[in-house]
Every structure is written in structure tokens, then in C-alpha cells.
A and B are shown apart, each in its own frame.
Chain A
Amino acid sequence: RKEVEQDPGPFNVPEGATVAFNCTYSNSASQSFFWYRQDCRKEPKLLMSVYSSGNEDGRFTAQLNRASQYISLLIRDSKLSDSATYLCVVNKNSGGYQKVTFGIGTKLQVIP
């Protein structure tokens, strides 16, 4: 089983729709969680951290479920500019080093 699993998509959604992505992780000792956004042929950029209590940044909401070992990202009122690949990232402290594991990413295409 992969350490971090994501549905690669693509998710094709109309403008204005709400879309949600999930990401599961296998190591229960994982400590911190993030969503990154990666545009085509560009570097990943931090979108938001994910907290157990859930956190929101404008149209984006991230949730963590430690019991079921998954994190989610909800995008409301999708914009064309939201089209990108969304990477799930899981950190675990391993011998004083933060071991970072990236998912393969979920591709989102918002269509007019």
C-alpha cells in the first residue's frame, strides 16, 4: 500500500461547482498535513495546511480525519483558474528529520 494515496482524476467540473478531493495516508504516526497546488510544468506551491479542527481559506476548506487517516480538500464556487493538480503532502518526524511524502496529485479541470 502506498504511503499517500490520491485519485489522479481528472476531475472535470463546470465553473461554479463544488468539488472535493480525498487523500488517504497509511502511517498513523504522521504529524502534519498539507495541500499543495501544482500548475502544468510549474513547481508545487503551498495551498494550505490541514488541521484536525478543519480550516478554511476563502473558497477552500481542508479537513483532517485522524481516525480514518484521510485528509480532504473542498473547493466551492470553482473558477477556471482553479484548474491545476492538487498534491496531498504528509509529514512524519523520523529520527529528527521531517520525512515528507507527496501523493501523485489529483488533476482538476474547471470547464466554462
Chain B
Amino acid sequence: DGGITQSPKYLFRKEGQNVTLSCEQNLNHDAMYWYRQDPGQGLRLIYYSQIVNDFQKGDIAEGYSVSREKKESFPLTVTSAQKNPTAFYLCASSWAGSTQYFGPGTRLLVL
């Protein structure tokens, strides 16, 4: 089955802790994206990557980091510098300039 997977479905973070959200796709898409969704707000772009070993900051990159070592994988780390991390995190992928397809999302909660 082709698609985008994200894990875990729920993640709990303690104060001062870094956590990493996984995103994998087997659609052979070049581009991958991370978004954050908060209640009453649209999706906001955190980071995106158009090719392996290259990525750019989106609109709200502070407190987050990413890597793109493989075409299939685009993990997102929420660092302790992100003071309000509780949100629904969505990963998406696409061929360059084409429609984005989303993974099922990860809900991050702060303990």
C-alpha cells in the first residue's frame, strides 16, 4: 500500500525534553512538508524539503528542527525551545509543484 505514515499517533513531552516525530512516505515524492494545526487556525508550515539533504524554514520554524537524509523520510524534532508545542502535527508529501497528500498526524501533548 502506498502512502504516508506518521508515528506515533500520540506523543507526550515533558518540560525541557526534545521529541522526534516520524514521517515516512513510499510514494516516491520529492517534496515533504511539516505543518502544525491549532484549534481555530489554519495549517501553518514549519519546514519543507524539496530534495534530499536540503530543507527550508517555513513560517513557524523556531523551536523545531528537521533532517532529510533519505527521500522517504522527513523526521521533525520538537526541541525544548518550542514553548507551546501542544498541537496536531501533520506531514505531507508531493511531487514538485503538485497536490499535497497528508499522513494521519501526530498529537503532541505536554505533561
Contacts and interface: CB of A to CB of B under 8 A. Distances in A.
Contacts, number: 43
Interface string B71-111: 00000000000000000101000101111111111000000
B48 A97 contact: yes
B41 A104 contact: yes
Interface string A79-100: 0000000010001010011101
A4 B43 contact: no
Interface in B35-77: 35, 40-43, 45, 48, 50, 56
Contacts of B98: 98
A4 B99 contact: no
Interface in A55-106: 87, 91, 93, 96-98, 100-105
A4 to B, nearest CB: 7
A104 B105 CA distance: 17
Interface residues of A, number: 22
A44 B33 CA distance: 14
Nearest to B105: A43
Nearest to B43: A102
B45 A100 contact: yes
B50 A8 contact: no
B90 A100 contact: no
Interface of B: 31, 33, 35, 40-43, 45, 48, 50, 56, 88, 90, 94, 96-105
